[in-house]
Structure 1
Amino acid sequence: MKIRCIPVTAILMYAFGMSPLFAADNPVMRLASLEWAPYVGSRLHQEGLTAGIVKVAARQIGMDTKISYSPWSRTVYAGLNDPNYAGYFPAFYLKEREKTCYFSGVLGHSVVGFAYLKERPFQWTKLNDLRGIKIGIVQDYANGEEFDAMVKQRVLDTDAAPSDVSNLRKLLAHRVDVIVIDK
């Protein structure tokens, strides 16, 4: 059975009675998210660009939105498993996620790439070129189906961290060669 993720479609589905969270006496939809500027964040204007889109969509169907912020792994867990949440956002589309989530249309675009230290450049043209390079990733982030499959098969050497900030610190301390990060 598919459950909560990416809220725009979820907002519409839940509003039409598919979840007890949206009974007439409870017009507030709780969603889980992470601090990820400029898309979402508790200290950003209107909680960020993506949060603003979600809030406007919810208002269109007469609902208010309350967003709780946690590290990504906790966000995903709450959005999928905690009955107090209608879902979580934002998340990249993956076929695997489609098994447990309803997806809306695209809410925005993000460019993901590698960051490395200027004094330690590296060259690559295809993912196989990354073998033997220690790559910092964020725990439970989607980094593309092919990349994620290679990580799962342990073809790529990765070191997971709870956040981009943690990965940047590892990069500066030379604990990883490169990190995967949003531009």
Structure 2
Amino acid sequence: MGNAWCTNAEENRSSVSVALGEWPPFISEELPGFGSVSRIVNSAFKSQGLQVKTGFFPWKRSYDLTRIADWDATAVWVKSPERERRFLYSDPVMISHNVLFYRKDKKFDWKTLEDLEGYVIGGSTGYYYGSVLETGEKLNTFRMERIPDEAANFKKLLIGRVDLVVSNKEVGYFLINSLLEKEQRDIITHHPKSVHLTSYHLIIGKKNPRAQSIMRTFNQGLGVVLGKRPETGY
């Protein structure tokens, strides 16, 4: 029994489990290597000699499994005050823009939060879109309608059930191009002003006894893989 325990402990130290969710084109069970971000995460760990166990779950489940340390890590997440109380954050894995999508036949421009007054904005459940939209949502400057299915927001935009959709720019266009007919795609565009320039991170629950060690190892590997800088866009 003693030898078996030692073997298991050694295996635990030489491997890491990473919980993911669907977020194409960056992360998906259907993409080669599970997507570009997943390849970066796996390569970072493997460069430091760790084997990676990958699991796909709904995003909230990935979050909870990592928070209670059933899984070692989950990727990738935006920083928020609530998450920072519970998780360690890695160096940025990628940096990208959240923008507002709208219909071309509806005039839209914005510079400040006040310009969004009265709009209905489609967002995704559990996503953090930065301090501007967080403030507006709390103050009811606009109405934020959050749903679990990000793709459905663009269908709601087409039929006028929301005025705007907030999304990562690359993800938004991936969904538009994947799901909509050409005539529908041609109706939608995005505003050039970013809602939030967002860095995305691997996170590890603070309850995990290996949290500090795993994070230190990951950041070292990430520096090797990215050449000391996070990827932008893809």
TM-score range, shorter chain: 0.7 to 0.9
Q: Deviations over 1:81-132 (max 9, x none)?
A: 3x43112110112233211111111111211101112222322111221110
1:45 aligns with 2:32: yes
Aligned to 1:25: 11
| 8 A Cα contact 2:116 2:141, kept in partner | no
What TM-score do the two structures reach when normalised by structure 1?
0.78
1:34 aligns with 2:9: no
1:119 aligns with 2:100: no
Length, aligned pairs only: 161
Identity level (%): 27
Gaps of 5+ in 1: 1-21
AA aligned opposite 2:107: P
Decide which structure has greater strand share.
2
Q: Whose relative contact order is higher, 1 or 2, with alpha carbons under 8 Å and at least 6 apart? A: 2
Aligned to 2:55: 68
Q: Which runs of 4+ in 1 moved over 4 A?
A: none
Q: Residue 154 of structure 1: which of 140, 152, 173 is its match? A: 140
The structure that has the greater radius of gyration is 2
Aligned to 1:55: 42
Deviation, 1:74, is 3.0
SS class of match (1:169) = helix
| 8 A Cα contact 1:72 1:163, kept in partner | no
Question: d(CA) in 1 for partners of 2:55 and 2:159?
Answer: 31
Question: d(CA) in 1 for partners of 2:26 and 2:167?
Answer: 14
SS class of match (2:65) = helix
What TM-score do the two structures reach when normalised by structure 2?
0.62
1:156-175 to structure 2, matched below 5 A, reads 156-175=142-161
Aligned to 2:94: 108
1:90 aligns with 2:57: no
Question: d(CA) in 2 for partners of 1:67 and 1:120?
Answer: 43
Please, what is the CA RMSD of the aligned residues?
2.0
Question: d(CA) in 1 for partners of 2:66 and 2:153?
Answer: 24
Question: d(CA) in 2 for partners of 1:135 and 1:90?
Answer: 23
